[in-house]
Chain A
Amino acid sequence: MSPSERDAVMAAQTEAMPPSAREIARLEESFRLFTRTTQDLESSYKRLTQRAARIDTELAGANRRLHTQVEELERVTRNQRGTLDALPVGVVVMDASGTLIDVNRAAEHMIGRQRDELVGRSRAVIVGPTGDALLTDRDTPDEREVVALDGSKRRLAWSSASLPDGHEVQVLTDRTVATRLREQVSRLDTLAALGEMAAGVAHEIRNPLNGIEGFAALLERAVSKGVTDAGLTRYADNIRRGVREVNTIISNLLTFASPDSIRSGRVDLSALLQGIIDEVRGSHATAKTIRGHFPREGCEDVPGDAIKLKIVFVNLIKNAVEAAGIEGHVDVLLELSERSFLVTVRDDGPGLAPTMRDKLFRPFSTDKPDGTGLGLAIANKLVSLHGGGIEALEAAQGCTFRVTLPRGETPR
C-alpha cells in the first residue's frame, strides 16, 4: 500500500469513528510510525559504524604497507648512494637537457666541487678555470688533460651511456697517476736506449780512431827516423781512410737522428728498385744474380719520399748482396695487395744468426765484419715514417726481409 492509499484508508476509518477514538487511533498510528523510523535509523547507524570500522582497518593496513615501502625506498637510496660513492670512478647523471641530477664522491673530487654545487647546473657551465670542459659532450670515449675547478691538473677519461628514460650517465676515470707512471717508464726506456746507443757510438767511433792514432804514431816514428819512402803515403792513406769511416758513421747517425719527417711526393717504386739493382750490380762485390720482379703497372705513383725510400731499399739490397756472397742469388719482388705495396728482398746466404733476430732493428746491432749496425735501424725508422713496417720473415734458407708501404694518401 502506498502512503497516499494508506492515508485514504485512515481518513475513511477516522470518519466512521467517534472523535476521541479517532484521535487515539491517530496517536497510536503516529507512535507506530515513530517506532519504525527509529528502528530504521538504528539499523542504518549500525551499518555505518561497521563500515567505518572496516575502512579504519583497511586504512591502517594501507598505512603500514606505505610505511614499509618508504623505508625500503630509503634503504635502497642509501645503498645506491653508498655504492655510488664507494666507486673509484666518477659517475655523473644528467637529464635529457644536460642538467646534472647526481654526482658521486669520486666525480666531486675529479671535477673539484661538492655535489650540491653541481647538481641542478647544466653540463655546459661545468668548466675549469682555464676553460676546459670537465664533462664530455661526445658519445665516444674522450681523454684529455684538464685543470679542474679546484685548480688541480688532471688527465681525465670519459665515457657515457644513455639510459632508457632519456638520462645520461657519464663515467669519469682519473688517468693522472697512470699517465705519469707511463711517462716515467717511457723516459727510462728512452734513457736506456740512449745509453745503449751512446755505448754503440763510442765503440764504432773508437775503432777507426784507434787505427788513426796508430798509423799517426807509425808516421811520426818513420818521419823522426828520416824515412822518406812510399810507406809514409800508405800511413797517411790509412789515416784518411779512418777519418772517412768516422765520417760515414756520423752521417748515418745523423740520418737516424734526423727529425721525424718525410717529404711527401709520388715515387715510381719499380723504377726506384730497378735503379738500385743496376747500381749495386755495377759497383758492389756483387752476387751471381740480382733479379727484380715487378708488376706491369700500379706502382708508378706510390706516395712517399723518394730519397728516404731509396735509402731503405739500398740498405736492404746491399745487405742481401753481401749476405749472398759472389755465388749467391738475390731476388727483389714488388707486389700490390689491396691495402699495401709489398717489397720482398730475399737472399740465399747463410741466414740470420739466432742472436741477431731480436735486435735486428736496434742501432749498432750487426753481424757483418764491417757493418756499423745502423742500416736496418735507419731503414726501419724511415719505413715507419711512411706509415709502413719492415720485418724479417722466417725462411728455410738465407734471409728474407719484407717492407710494407700503405697505399692511399701520402703520410706526413
Chain B
Amino acid sequence: MIRHALIADDDDLSREYLAEALRASGIEVSEAVDGRDAQRLFDADRHDLVFSDLRMPGGNGIEVLQAVKTASPRTPVVLVTAYGSVECAVQAMRD
C-alpha cells in the first residue's frame, strides 16, 4: 500500500503536476528539487515510492536510485526523463 511518495525533479511544473496527481489519489507527497535534497528526505521518511528526474543539479537520478536501493531495496523507484531516447538520457548523465 502506497501512502507516502517522494518526487525529485528540478522542473517545478513537472514536479507539481505529479504531486497534484498523486495527492488527488490520496497519497501524501514530499517534493525535492535536487538529488541531495531527495536523499536527505528519503533517509528521514523512507517513502513507499520514489519518482526521480534523471538529470538534476546536486546528484542525478541514478545516484538517487542507488541511495534508495542501498537503504531500502524493495522500494520502487521510477526514473523520469525529458530526453527523447535512452541513449540521449545516458549521454545527458555522462555530460
Please give the residue numbers on chain A whose beta carbons come within 8 Å of chain B beta carbons, in ascending order: 199, 202-203, 206-208, 210-212, 214-215, 217-218, 235, 238, 241-242, 245, 353, 359, 366-370
Closest-CB distance, B61 to chain A (whole angstroms): 13
B92 touches A210 (CB 8 A): no
Q: Is B13 an interface residue (CB 8 A)?
A: yes
B88 touches A238 (CB 8 A): no
State the CA gap A147–B80 with chains docked (Å): 57
Q: Please report which residues of chain B, range 49-75, place their CB below 8 angstroms from some CB of chain A when the two chains form the complex.
A: 55-58
Q: Is B20 an interface residue (CB 8 A)?
A: yes
B83 touches A203 (CB 8 A): yes
A206 touches B18 (CB 8 A): no
Please name all residues of chain B whose beta carbon is closer than 8 Å to the beta carbon of A215 when the two chains form the complex: 13, 17, 20
B57 touches A369 (CB 8 A): yes
B82 touches A202 (CB 8 A): yes
Complex interface bits, B83-95 against A, C-beta within 8 A gives 1, otherwise 0: 1100010011001
Given A218-B24, A369-B34, CB of A199 within 8 Å of CB of B92: yes
For A356, give the chain B residue with the smallest CB separation.
B57
State the CA gap A398–B91 with chains docked (Å): 29
B82 touches A203 (CB 8 A): yes
State the CA gap A287–B82 with chains docked (Å): 32
Number of interface residues of B (CB under 8 A): 24
Q: For chain A, what secondary structure do more than half of its interface residues adopt (helix, strand, loop), or is it mixed?
A: helix
For B34, give the chain A residue with the smallest CB separation.
A369
5 contacts between A and B (CB under 8 A): A211-B14, A211-B17, A235-B20, A238-B16, A369-B33
A211 touches B13 (CB 8 A): yes
Q: Is B21 an interface residue (CB 8 A)?
A: yes
Please name all residues of chain A whose beta carbon is closer than 8 Å to the beta carbon of B58 when the two chains form the complex: 367
State the CA gap A206–B11 with chains docked (Å): 10
Closest-CB distance, A308 to chain B (whole angstroms): 28
Please name all residues of chain A whose beta carbon is closer than 8 Å to the beta carbon of B12 when the two chains form the complex: 211, 370
B17 touches A238 (CB 8 A): yes
Please name all residues of chain B whose beta carbon is closer than 8 Å to the beta carbon of A245 when the two chains form the complex: 13
A370 touches B10 (CB 8 A): yes
B20 touches A210 (CB 8 A): no
Closest-CB distance, A376 to chain B (whole angstroms): 15
Closest-CB distance, B32 to chain A (whole angstroms): 10
State the CA gap A14–B11 with chains docked (Å): 157
For B9, give the chain A residue with the smallest CB separation.
A207
Q: Which of A199, A203, A238, A359 is the one whose CB lies under 8 Å from B13?
A: A238
Please name all residues of chain B whose beta carbon is closer than 8 Å to the beta carbon of A370 when the two chains form the complex: 10, 12
Closest-CB distance, B35 to chain A (whole angstroms): 11
Complex interface bits, B4-48 against A, C-beta within 8 A gives 1, otherwise 0: 000000111110111011001000000001100000000000000
Please name all residues of chain B whose beta carbon is closer than 8 Å to the beta carbon of A241 when the two chains form the complex: 13
B14 touches A368 (CB 8 A): no
State the CA gap A68–B12 with chains docked (Å): 95
A214 touches B10 (CB 8 A): no
State the CA gap A360–B10 with chains docked (Å): 19
Given A367-B57, A369-B10, A370-B12, CB of A207 within 8 Å of CB of B20: no
State the CA gap A258–B13 with chains docked (Å): 28
Please name all residues of chain B whose beta carbon is closer than 8 Å to the beta carbon of A353 when the two chains form the complex: 57
B11 touches A202 (CB 8 A): no
Please name all residues of chain B whose beta carbon is closer than 8 Å to the beta carbon of A212 when the two chains form the complex: 13
A202 touches B84 (CB 8 A): yes
Please name all residues of chain A whose beta carbon is closer than 8 Å to the beta carbon of B84 when the two chains form the complex: 199, 202, 206
State the CA gap A238–B18 with chains docked (Å): 12
A208 touches B13 (CB 8 A): yes
What would 8 more interface pairs be, CB under 8 Å, given A211-B11, A369-B57?
A: A199-B83, A202-B83, A210-B13, A211-B17, A212-B13, A214-B18, A238-B13, A369-B10
B83 touches A210 (CB 8 A): no
For A362, give the chain B residue with the smallest CB separation.
B95
Please name all residues of chain A whose beta carbon is closer than 8 Å to the beta carbon of B82 when the two chains form the complex: 202-203, 206-207, 210
State the CA gap A214–B91 with chains docked (Å): 26
Closest 7 CB pairs of A and B: A211-B13, A214-B17, A206-B82, A207-B11, A369-B10, A367-B57, A211-B14
A208 touches B11 (CB 8 A): yes
State the CA gap A238–B55 with chains docked (Å): 22
For A211, give the chain B residue with the smallest CB separation.
B13
For A196, give the chain B residue with the smallest CB separation.
B95
Please name all residues of chain A whose beta carbon is closer than 8 Å to the beta carbon of B56 when the two chains form the complex: 369
Please name all residues of chain A whose beta carbon is closer than 8 Å to the beta carbon of B17 when the two chains form the complex: 210-211, 214-215, 218, 238
For B11, give the chain A residue with the smallest CB separation.
A207
Please name all residues of chain A whose beta carbon is closer than 8 Å to the beta carbon of B95 when the two chains form the complex: 359
A218 touches B83 (CB 8 A): no
